[in-house]
Amino acid sequence: MTNSWTDIRNTDLVVIMGGNAAEAHPCGFKWVTEAKANRGAKLIVVDPRYTRSASVADYYAPIRQGSDIAFLLGVIKYCIDNDKVQWDYVNAFTNAAYIVKEGFAYQDGLFTGYDPEKREYDRATWDYEIGEDGFVVMDETLQNPRCVWNMLKEHIAIYTPEMVERICGTPQEKFLKVAEMISECSTPTKTMTSMYALGWTQHSKGSQNIRSMAMLQLILGNIGVRGGGMNALRGHSNIQGLTDIGLMSNLIPGYLNIPTEREVDYPTYISSRGFKPLRPNQVSYWQNYPKFFVSFMKAMWGTAATPENSFAYDYLPKLDLPAYDVLRAFEMMDQGQMFGYFCQGFNPLLSFPDRGKITRSLSKLKYLVVMDPLETETARFWENHGEFNDVDSASIETEVYQLPTSCFAEDEGALVNSGRWLQWHWPAQNLPGQAKHDTWIMAQIHLKLKQLYQEEGGKFPDPILNLHWPYADPGDPKADEIARELNGYAVETLRDPNDPTKVTVEAGQQVPGFAALRDDGSTAAGCWIYSGCYNQNGNNMARRDNSDPDATGAYLNWAFAWPANRRILYNRASADLDGKAWDPERKLIEWDGEKWAGYDVPDIPPTSNPRDVGPFIMNPEGQSRLFSRGMMRDGPFPAHYEPFESPVVNVVAPAIRGNPVARVFESDRATFGDAEEFPYAATSYRLTEHFHYWTKHVWVNAVLQPEFFVEISEELAAERGIEKGGWCRVWNKRGSVQAKAVVTKRIQPLICDGKPVHIVGIPLHWGFTGAAKNGMGPNSLTPFVGDANIETPEFKAFLVNIEPSSGPATA
Amino acid sequence: MTINVNPPVAPDTAMQMGPQDYIRRSASSVPAPARQLEAVAKLIDVSKCIGCKACQSACLEWNDLREEVGVNAGVYDNPHDLTPNTFTLMRFTEWVNPETDNLEWLIRKDGCMHCADPGCLKACPAPGAIVQYSNGVVDFVKENCIGCGYCVKGCPFDIPRISKVDNRSYKCTLCSDRIAVGQGPACAKACPTKAIVFGTKEEMKAHAAERIEDLKSRGYANAGLYDPPGVGGTHVMYVLHHADKPSIYAGLPDDPRISPLVEAWKGVTKYAGFAVMGIAAAAGVLHMAISGRNRVTVEDDEEARRLTAVAPGAAPLDPSKETLS
């Protein structure tokens, strides 16, 4: 989230698209009801299904899954055509006036530089014209046809209401109603918030779905303001923390990068991370990258990280591929290239696409370690459960280790919520049975490995032997100790650079925040963005002061929000060019002539002159991007692409199947189906009664939603002879499942490009362990396709066929 | 590691209630209470409800009930009806508004309405099995229940359910045990959108008025409060978007009333004797199964007269010996 859950109450219009907040985030959804009560806010829901969110919406419009970009670019076009643009904001805070480099173009669904063999773009032309002064060339009059604004207008010209209806199946009058309601938020005194989740991310162009809405929000002037923003609703209570801490194969904590094997030494690595400002006076905060990186290395290897050895740069692994994401990991297992797998706190047998491939891959492992508080299906993938897990146990040789871990309510530590709040929590009960904390298990493994390296040596034991391990009980690091390490501390005594007689932080003391971090090895910090969470004032994450002066929704003394306890990112953009709030009723921070101050921690250096320094300090431009340069693999502007398996051809670019740079492995192509054989557009989702595959282990939740089902329209049920409450079979080339049929008016056939498209909704939550009835899930059917940028699997749009059935033999 | 517990909640003594606050007691009389508690109410705002079933979950947890894991019957309602273990149930209705041609998904939390004029209590022949407090709570005292099922017939909302395990009648207590120590019902506590709120009936009516105004501003011209006068008003009320058509909400009665037969019978009936109650219980269950719900037949009425004619009469109420259910 750019904003926070509590800030949603400040909005005038909530758009839920690519998510179902009432269903999946019922507690957070309370802030939508608050906004309705406090400001008379309206709620729009755009979804293939009439969802629980839609049941309390002011307006609902249907859309075919996988067509969101066309819809959103249609709304952008509507706003531009009807002059519903917050011009002062767009002119001042976006790159609308920047001139795009010669050579960049878009034609027939492809941007310049496509290589069909590699399924990759050469992104050299996806950039700005740079002037002789080293800064980007601009045309503030927006007359130049090569300026971003005009290029954007040209790019979206095809997304007329007629085209939106053709692609999305959204009736024109419904699309126009939504567009009109959204466009009203272009005034400085009306804001819209976007609440989205996996309904946007789980597509082969998921990142671009989100970018499309971000661009719309910029055009409306809704980023950085109260009640605005791009608000990703995270699915797990700590999935935000997971990405922050860098549990991605290509990241280290705080969104720093793991080096690639081309970056053979530290100078090479850091040379491409200079982040020189593209406009005069801009902050370009990533210029501090070396400070954060070196402090991370000091936290990792302590005294073994020295200036002489480039702070132990050689200890870091070097990537030979862009990423070892989950799809690649299972592809490698399947190809016999990966032999061991540690599965900590998740359930890939039911969570990853193409279950057949997952079972096959797990069966090829030598060993599988499952660390989980629950009996997961993954830990029992080798057990035969009839139709629900039809495997030949005798032929599987994988050795499986189950290590029972603690549940969240038995843990101490911080969970990071969608709004980036690190909220400390305490255990509610002690560990049951032989369960151990994950930290204990990891520490024991580390110490054992270290011992083996000490006794037996190895090719390169240094990173393990020299790992900084300062915990009071080396076998059991405590949450408190790890939190202090993440915040960071002074390795040597720090002095004021302007007055060396003045000590700012004594050696060994906690640093106050990331501004104190240095690139000379005198500071250590495990995750720079968290710095400030546990400083000289103690554990700020444990703060529980819910006072909220003037009811702004900031709650600055409740827990700690990264970065720097800031509650709304880019908050300088809440004020106009002179630093006055766009909306005096929703003041956030303002320029008082000398400094920025207000209800939130300013997002720019507090004394920076409002006319000099742009709000988007992480960008070298200081401004936001309607044209994203080469930052994304699939284009500087979003473009409509169909899902890999689509009921219709791409009417914008008929020759192109799916996103041309989506993650696809050749070995999976044979498992893709077409609309002739599998005519129905399926999608997968969660239900409010359950949380993933956890709560089926809880009796009460199992009572509330006991059994696997699929949802279809009355029309499809009639067409295929399926009865409400009866059994049906859903299948494609990857698998087949049997489910109860929920026949509902909440799903309606859509007319796309003149032909009816039927939708099959497949919720996930059932398996073969736990209290609920045994069942299957959508991942028996979903394709092994990933997003072009972050490889998220395409769970939301695929093809199936359906027929009545007699139910599983072992139901 | 320190185990932290929920912070203690200071009891609100003003809200405390007990047997001394009974204003009605089935098949018996009660002395006029020394004090009058302020009327309470639970308000269920159907327009804010997202159907998450947190209320159902909280009800099972707080009351320590164990419902069966059922099956999917082609709808979202689970279990499929109220049971002796399910005191509250979300009922989902897909309704196409004929005026707009738009689908509306009406989600109503069903359960005891706590009528000011409770048909169950009036129909009940077992002394002290059903009581009403001066704040409006209608509660079942299971120790006194004989399982005859007359409460089911007396209820205009089809709420009570007889357990096959212990042959006693069960329904929502409005969390009388929580109210007695100054807390609201568990369902209201769990509701994430504040669709369920609890307070004095006056406060709830005022809150409902604001909600109705908001709904009218959003185009629901017939939004209104459901507090049906046919049962003297209720201590569980609904805000409905279409208050002119309660029955579209999974059969919420448009104009609920106690059967005139119950009223007539109640005029004659006094106290039922325990000796014959065992037979009556079995007969009651049988009758319910045969004659369906919500109706008191002439036969029922006659049977009640026969039973009560030989009843020796119950002992006068001694509040100090009564227990909360």
CATH number reported for the structural domain that contains residue B28 in this entry: 3.30.70.20
Is the pLDDT at B41 greater than 50? The verdict is yes
Structural tokens at position A610: 């409002």
Is the pLDDT at A430 greater than 60? The verdict is yes
Q: pLDDT tens, A468-508?
A: 999 999 999 999 999 999 999 999 999 999 999 999 999 99
B94 part of contact set with chain A, CB < 8 Å: yes
* Chain B residues lying within 8 Å of A688, measured CB to CB: 50-53
pLDDT of residue B12: 54
Mean pLDDT of A304-332: 96
Nearest neighbour of B3 by CB, restricted to A50, A427, A708: A427
What letter would DSSP give residue A312?
G
Mean pLDDT of B165-182: 95
Residue A105 counted as domain residue: yes
| Nearest alpha-carbon partner for A771 in A712, A689, A713 | A689
Distance in Å from the first CA to the final CA of chain A? 42
Question: What is the band of B10 on the pLDDT scale with cuts at 50, 70, 90?
Answer: low
* Chain A residues lying within 8 Å of B195, measured CB to CB: 33
Question: What is the band of B285 on the pLDDT scale with cuts at 50, 70, 90?
Answer: very low
Residue A364 counted as domain residue: no
Residue A273 counted as domain residue: yes
Region of residue A630 (left: phi > 0; alpha: psi -120 to 50; beta: else): alpha
B93 part of contact set with chain A, CB < 8 Å: no
CA distance A379 to chain B (A): 24
CA distance A8 to A186: 18
Residue A512 counted as domain residue: yes
Is the pLDDT at A404 greater than 50? The verdict is yes
One domain, residues A692 and A790: yes
Residue B1 counted as domain residue: no
Is B74 in contact with A742 (Cβ distance < 8 A)?
Answer: yes
Residue A241 counted as domain residue: no
Can you give the CATH number for the domain in which A728 is found?
A: 2.40.40.20
CA distance A558 to A547: 8
Angle of helix A68-81 versus helix A206-219 axis, rounded to 10: 20
Average pLDDT of chain A, as a whole number: 97
B97 part of contact set with chain A, CB < 8 Å: no
Residue B200 counted as domain residue: yes
* Chain A residues lying within 8 Å of B51, measured CB to CB: 52, 55, 688
Instruction: Tell me the residue ranges of DSSP E strands in A158-204.
Output: 192-196
State percent of chain B over pLDDT 90.
73
**Residue A279 near residue A621, CB atoms below 8 Å:** yes
CA distance A428 to chain B (A): 6
CA distance A29 to chain B (A): 7
Mean pLDDT of B69-81: 97
* Chain A residues lying within 8 Å of B214, measured CB to CB: 36-37, 40
Q: Please tell me whether the overall predicted TM-score, pTM, comes out greater than 0.90 for this model.
A: yes
User: What type of residue sits at position B94?
Assistant: E
CA atoms within 13 A on the CB side of A305: 28
Question: What is the band of B16 on the pLDDT scale with cuts at 50, 70, 90?
Answer: confident
Structural tokens at position A417: 């919520």
Number of domains in chain A: 3
Tell me which of A206-215, A273-282, A365-374, B9-18 is least confident. B9-18
CA distance A216 to A214: 5
* Chain B residues lying within 8 Å of A36, measured CB to CB: 214
Residue A429 counted as domain residue: no
CA distance A166 to B267: 69
User: What type of residue sits at position A422?
Assistant: L
Kindly identify which residue of chain A lies nearest to residue B220, measuring between CA atoms.
A58
Mean pLDDT of B211-226: 97
Question: What is the band of B291 on the pLDDT scale with cuts at 50, 70, 90?
Answer: very low
CA distance A494 to A507: 7
pLDDT of residue A810: 61
Question: What is the band of A747 on the pLDDT scale with cuts at 50, 70, 90?
Answer: very high
* Chain A residues lying within 8 Å of B5, measured CB to CB: 428
Nearest neighbour of B2 by CB, restricted to A426, A706, A745: A426
Q: Output the DSSP codes for A26-44.
A: TTTTHHHHHHHHHH--EEE
One domain, residues A54 and A122: yes
- Bridge partners (DSSP) of residue B22 are B133
CA distance A632 to A760: 31
Mean pLDDT of B310-324: 47
Q: Which residues of A395-424 are buried (b: 16+ CB within 10 A; e: fewer)?
A: ebebebeebbbbbbebbbbbbbbbbbbbbb
Is the pLDDT at A732 greater than 70? The verdict is yes
Is the pLDDT at B9 greater than 60? The verdict is no
**Residue ranges making up the domain that contains A787:** 663-804
pLDDT of residue B294: 45
Residue B7 counted as domain residue: no
Is the pLDDT at B161 greater than 50? The verdict is yes
State percent of chain A over pLDDT 70.
100
pLDDT of residue B267: 55
CA distance A50 to A747: 6
| Nearest alpha-carbon partner for B176 in B121, B137, B234, B118 | B137
Mean pLDDT of A253-278: 96
Nearest neighbour of A55 by CB, restricted to B66, B71, B107: B107
pLDDT of residue B259: 85
**Residue ranges making up the domain that contains B299:** 15-254+261-314
One domain, residues A116 and A212: yes
Is B69 in contact with A53 (Cβ distance < 8 A)?
Answer: no
Is B52 in contact with A23 (Cβ distance < 8 A)?
Answer: yes
**Phi, psi values for residue A371, rounded to 5°:** -105, 110
pLDDT of residue B271: 47
Is A740 in contact with B71 (Cβ distance < 8 A)?
Answer: yes
pLDDT of residue A248: 87
Tell me which of A55-69, A425-439, B38-52, B275-289 is least confident. B275-289
Residue A483 counted as domain residue: no
Question: What is the band of A237 on the pLDDT scale with cuts at 50, 70, 90?
Answer: confident
Q: pLDDT tens, B80-136?
A: 999 999 999 999 999 999 999 999 999 999 999 999 999 999 999 999 999 999 999
Residue B2 counted as domain residue: no
B187 part of contact set with chain A, CB < 8 Å: no
One domain, residues A219 and A265: no
* Omega prior to B79 cis, within 30 of 0: yes
Region of residue A261 (left: phi > 0; alpha: psi -120 to 50; beta: else): alpha
Average pLDDT of chain B, as a whole number: 85
**Residue B123 near residue B156, CB atoms below 8 Å:** no
pLDDT of residue B261: 78
Number of domains in chain B: 1
CA distance A164 to A675: 21
Q: Which residues of B36-65 are buried (b: 16+ CB within 10 A; e: fewer)?
A: ebebbbbbbbbbbbbbbbbbbbbbbebbeb
* Chain B residues lying within 8 Å of A743, measured CB to CB: 74
CA distance A185 to A85: 9
Mean pLDDT of A617-622: 97
pLDDT of residue A809: 84
ipTM for the predicted complex: 0.94
pLDDT of residue B15: 54
One domain, residues A27 and A166: yes
Is the pLDDT at A76 greater than 90? The verdict is yes
- Beta carbon pairs, A and B, within 8 Å: 128
Is A55 in contact with B67 (Cβ distance < 8 A)?
Answer: no
Residue B282 vs residue A736, higher pLDDT: A736
Question: What is the band of B260 on the pLDDT scale with cuts at 50, 70, 90?
Answer: confident
Q: Would you tell me which residues 193-212 of chain B have a C-beta closer than 8 angstroms to some C-beta of chain A?
A: 193-195
CA distance A31 to A7: 8
CA distance A222 to chain B (A): 24
CA distance A405 to chain B (A): 16
One domain, residues A166 and A206: yes
